[in-house]
A and B are shown apart, each in its own frame.
Chain A
Amino acid sequence: MSVYFTKEHEWVRVDGDTATVGISDHAQEQLGDIVFAEVPETGKRLTKGQEAAVVESVKAASDVYSPVSGEVLDGNSKVADDPSIVNSDPEGEGWFFKLKLDNPSELDGLMDENAYREWVKTL
């Protein structure tokens, strides 16, 4: 199982052809208290870079882009019901959606965990 990150601060965890997507700890920290999350519906087709979910803190509204293309297998209803999970466990229980990967080679352009953590320090 491997984890990749985008420069837009999404993470994608890949297990076989299933990818789980969320926002990074750095992203939740920057957003502050998260008060609203909207996740995509099962069956929705997403293309890489497309707006897939919404996350709002007290001060800001943001789109979450899909880092890869595929069909949505599940949206996390837990974060929609209690968005504060995205603050408390952004890279675990606070995931946004799972999708079935169309094209695993799309992962090639993403950062691995070490590269991302190092890059975030430079921001």
Chain B
Amino acid sequence: MNRETHNGPTDETQARGTPYSGDPSRGEGARPEPLDKLPLDAWHRARGARMVPFAGYEMPVQYEGIIAEHLWTRENAGLFDVSHMGQLLVHGRGVDSALEGLMPADFQAAADMKPKYSLLLDQEGGILDDLMATRRGDDFYVVVNGATKHGDIAYMERLLPEGVIVDHMKEQALLALQGPRAAEVLEQIVPGTSDLAFMEAGPFHWNGRALWISRSGYTGEDGFEISVPAIVAAELADAIAANPLVKPIGLGARDSLRLEAGLPLYGHDLDDRTTPVMAGLTFAINKRRRVDGGFPGAMRILAELENGPIEKRVGFDIDGRQPVREGALVLDGEGNEVGKVTSGGFSPSLQRPIAMGYVATALAEPGTALKLEQRGKLFDARVAQMPFVPHRYYRKGAAA
């Protein structure tokens, strides 16, 4: 037996030292760097995690099994350690307008403690990273991807004006509690958190320690992301996991959950060859920024908004049972290559293969019949509406 293809953030090509595709600054043949340990390393191992190299860390890919962990998160509450992600505090005079020089979000109008999804762009409008940025008074708290964080910091420091500082909060761990029972679990430990609505954040206290908690996540479920001092992260994880509604969840299920939710993964579904318009992330560019521009690659991105991009990120429903994974080609009825699969796998909730990728805009309408080619084999597929599994975010005043 030989293992051929892997996909997603647990890609074992990374275990062999192949550079993470989301980090273009490390070229082919880069030497694998020694792996760091997460603050919760021992905590994961004590719970039977299988650890794999990811983003420069040893990280838990699974505990009892990806499908069981995935379904548990959809039905109860899953605890994820995402401490590999970069937590930054950007501060200094005019930080909001300074950040607008790097990203297309409207930071000047950003309300306090309301996280905004945004994109770090290169000068051609290509995506260098996707991130969440939250105004905290005079500062911005920014959470970026683990594999790209060092490149992001260097890029931001190079382009931000003098006097605007990027602090890497290395002493903070980051936990995510996700699932329909997450709010009742966290409310018992950190009272007041259940009052947050989706995409609201705030400071909280636990055992005399400061926490920063936002109601957000990467699974499509209701849930929270919790920034906690690394020295007490294991204690907090213990307190949360003591509730029988909670199980620890690995990176494997994190990937299958976000794929079902139609959420792109940087380095796979987003990279410096894709723009926010190609990726279908135009909600991240508000009216004022569309009029004023002033972000990297604005000419190209505003033209794409006006005329449409040449290709678009879409979902695929696939006939049969066999997963079609990253790297498969998308073909039209005549066998012409019209796109590529950027993420794909088996959906535990739907019990069938699903995928995400890019196709020529003319073929991006949901329902369009296409073929996918993987290892010489053709699969019948149709462009699918995303998310594959409906989001269940907690929105105040909303009936659902």
- Chain A residues close to B by CB (< 8 Å): 8-10, 23, 27, 31-33, 35-36, 38, 54-65, 83
Contacts and interface: CB of A to CB of B under 8 A. Distances in A.
Contacts of B321: 35-36, 83
A82 to B, nearest CB: 11
Interface of B is mostly: mixed
Interface in B1-57: 1-8, 10, 12
A56 B323 contact: yes
Point out which of B3, B4, B346 has the most chain A C-beta atoms below 10 A from its C-beta. B3
Given A33-B65, A33-B67, A35-B346, A59 B8 contact: yes
Contacts, number: 68
B256 A58 contact: yes
Contacts of B12: 60
Contacts of A36: 321-323, 346
Contact of B4 (A9, A32, A35, A61): A61
B316 to A, nearest CB: 16
B62 interface: yes
B322 A9 contact: no
Contacts of B323: 35-36, 56, 58, 61
Contacts of B346: 35-36, 56, 58
Interface in B251-291: 252, 256
A35 B2 CA distance: 17
B325 interface: yes
A8 B65 contact: no
Considering the complex of A and B, which 3 residue pairs feature the smallest CB-CB distances, nearest first? A35-B346, A33-B67, A58-B66
Contacts of B325: 61
Nearest to A83: B321
B387 interface: no
B345 A8 contact: no
Interface of A is mostly: strand
Contacts of B61: 59
B67 A63 contact: no
B217 interface: no
A23 B10 CA distance: 22
A58 B67 contact: yes
B65 A10 contact: no
B2 A59 contact: no
A31 B1 CA distance: 11
B348 interface: yes
A54 B66 CA distance: 20
Contacts of B252: 32, 58-59
Given A8-B2, A33-B68, 20 more contacts: A8-B1, A10-B1, A31-B3, A32-B62, A32-B65, A33-B65, A35-B67, A35-B346, A58-B256, A58-B346, A58-B348, A59-B61, A60-B4, A61-B5, A62-B1, A62-B3, A63-B1, A63-B4, A64-B1, A65-B2
